[in-house]
Amino acid sequence: MTTPAAVIVDAAAYAQAVEDAVRAAAAYYTGGTSPLDDDAYDRLVRGIADWEAEHPGRILPDSPTGKVAGGAAVGDVPHTVPMLSLDNVFSAEEFTAWTASLARRTGRDATRFSVGPKLDGLAIAARYSGGRLRQLITRGDGTAGEDVSHAIGTIEGLPEKLDEPVTVEIRGEVLMTSAQFEHANEIRTGHGGQPFANPRNAAAGTLRARERVYTVPMTFFGYGLLPLPGTDAALAERMNGMAHSGLMALAADLGVHTSARTAVPDTVAETPDEVLARVKEIAALRAELPFGIDGIVVKADHAADRVAAGSGSRAPRWAIAYKLPAVEKITRLLDVEWNVGRTGVIAPRGVLEPVVIDGSTITYATLHNPADITRRDLRLGDHVMVHRAGDVIPRIEAPVAHLRTGEERPVEFPARCPRCGSDIDTTEERWRCAQGRNCHLVASLAYAAGRDQLDIEGLGTTRVVQLVEKGLVADLADLFTLRRDQLLSLERMGETSTDNLLAAIAGAKQQPLSRVLCALGVRGTGRSMSRRIARHFATMDHVRAADADAMQRVDGIGAEKAPSIVAELAELAPLIDRLAAVGVNMTEPGAIWPADAASEGDDPTAVPTAGGPLDGMTVVVTGAMTGSLEKLSRNEMNELVERAGGRSSSSVSKRTTLVVAGEGAGSKRAKAEQLGVRLATPDEFAAMVAGLLG
């Protein structure tokens, strides 16, 4: 959908719009926080362009439409070749119009295109002499940029020495990955500074910083390669005749980081329709990328086409940016709510002034924990940057501090549990009610009885409330001691429903250990992690005997998570003992503890043997299942994978062996195709595990 232009009604509104755009660009390109988010800035500039098209004789000299993006940050190092920005399109129709214009300029109806991600960072030119990195320059106004060579040696993917002793200029984008951004904010706030609003601002500010007492990592992605005055003549001639895709391959061969090894590598498309298909593929993967993109760059691949198309004063005519809907917007933080989860964790949630991001109206955003609020210096009434991509839960990045009016108020942290009034354990970043699970017993029991845990049909939240209010259950083990007369005493519980519920409870005793662990709701674990723990240790006794070092041997459990899991299992020991006493199963079918355990007893660090048709395979299930798999939940599908000897995963990567793609499979299927991962239909997968299907 085309981004609508801002409506500008007269010359005064036009002048104000130009002033607003210049101010926003100045903040954006110097590493500050722009008062406008990307979507608002795009709409403003399109409105300015529309007004100028109708009033060509009244264009102001400061108008952003005639300037290279980044022109607010002027430098004094001349570029050997102008370092231009890109024009934008926002829809398939606008892109088709651009390809028609390109065809007219090149004299050909169709041309090859290079298609790749538009990285959300800061453009720089890296000059190498004899293979050594000598100078870094920002884009500036396109003709000259700022020397930021002090940053040499601090940027990942930008080698100080190339693999060949050539003299060339590599152009690309400096950005922060999501992990680098979080790390940067921890360091920055630890030194008393304001948190960065988003990764793009963080990279821009960090690149220009010369006297900071700390350093934070950044990453470089090359997108252009050109000769310099000192380049070997034969190499320069070869480069000038190379396709863009060839230049990027050469850059990678020289040791420069490009998009080639990411989930969204630059590819070559032969037709505009192929370009649009690739745009959809990259857009589908956007939320899963470890770095930000705000569009897709499309370039004429052939050198002859680039020469024929030429360039304007601010942008080349042979390249375009297909912009994607904004995933970040600025809105106000109105309030903070404190919610208590089923394990007693007290989680803050930001209440926002409603804002539309990527087609969805956002009114709430996660704040993670109290330490996160303090670290980001959030205040009620703040303008905040809110980020949402795909199905990712919206999160508040940081306050837009320079928009503060002085009327903002501190966020008040609860002194007592907001649900039951008990003390709060504040020893960890995630605060927890001192009553733990008992604070929210109804939620804890309803979760344990759910389909993907103990699967006790007929024990929904309403029934759990009755049991708790009547004093019939005080913990999970009490469910297994309920008598028929006690259930019959409940409102709307007849003989048939009572007998059915007792049968479901009896059946729950036979659930595998993985489901029992999941029902216990150990913090830091879920359905997938519970299955891994159960298959690793085979019995509850082995799980409970494991120390932190042994727990770390479970796939996906690191040094930070292991101690907390071990500690919580120790805390749950009385409940686990009671569950075992009432006959709840404490073993995992198919998980075999090694027979050659140490003579003094079972070794709690050993790994069980594996086997089955999916032995050693990492499997991702996506889309709606059909046929014999239609009635299985996603959790049951993952259990099936692991019973067959495989490892279930929720994300596709190079380590993925198989993707089971059902109806409506989207981004995960696209990523599997991109990485060359084997795909299987539900019927094909069912045939692979036929011996395990009931």
User: Do 317 and 102 meet the contact criterion of CB atoms below 8 Å apart?
Assistant: yes
Which H or E run includes 125? strand 122-129
Q: Choose among 204, 199, 184: nearest CA to 124.
A: 204
Beta bridge partners of 412: none
Helices (H), 435-581: 441-448, 461-469, 484-488, 495-508, 513-520, 527-537, 540-545, 548-551, 561-571, 573-581
Q: Name the DSSP letter for residue 57.
A: G
Q: Choose among 439, 468, 465, 464: nearest CA to 450.
A: 464
Angstrom distance (rounded) from CA 331 to CA 526: 33
Angstrom distance (rounded) from CA 481 to CA 463: 16
DSSP reduced 3-state for 326: coil
Task: Give phi and psi for 463, each to the nearest 5.
Answer: -70, -40
Catalytic option among 67, 118, 323, 668: 118
Task: Give phi and psi for 396, each to the nearest 5.
Answer: -90, 120
The conformational region for residue 207 under phi > 0 = left, psi -120 to 50 = alpha, else beta, is: alpha
Per-position DSSP letters for 338-378, written without gaps between them:
EEE-TTSBEEEEEEEEEEEETTEEEEEEE---HHHHHHHT-
**CA 608 from centre of chain:** 33
CB contact set of 135 (below 8 Å; sequence gap of 6+): 77, 126, 127, 147, 149
**Does 631 qualify as catalytic in the annotation?**
no
- Show the tokens assigned to 265: 């590598």
Please give the C-alpha separations between residue 26 and each of 23, 194, 198, 332, in angstroms, as whole numbers: 5, 19, 16, 22
CB contact set of 50 (below 8 Å; sequence gap of 6+): 5, 8
Q: Where do we find the tokens 């070794």?
A: 603
Helices (H), 210-296: 233-240, 244-253, 272-285
DSSP reduced 3-state for 259: helix
Helices (H), 321-479: 370-376, 441-448, 461-469
Q: Choose among 331, 308, 290: nearest CA to 157.
A: 290
Q: Choose among 506, 465, 458, 460: nearest CA to 482.
A: 506
- Show the tokens assigned to 132: 């050594």
CB contact set of 604 (below 8 Å; sequence gap of 6+): 537, 542, 545, 546, 547, 550
DSSP reduced 3-state for 588: coil
Angstrom distance (rounded) from CA 574 to CA 587: 18
- Determine the longest span between alpha carbons in the chain, in angstroms: 95
DSSP reduced 3-state for 564: helix
Q: Which residues are catalytic?
A: 118
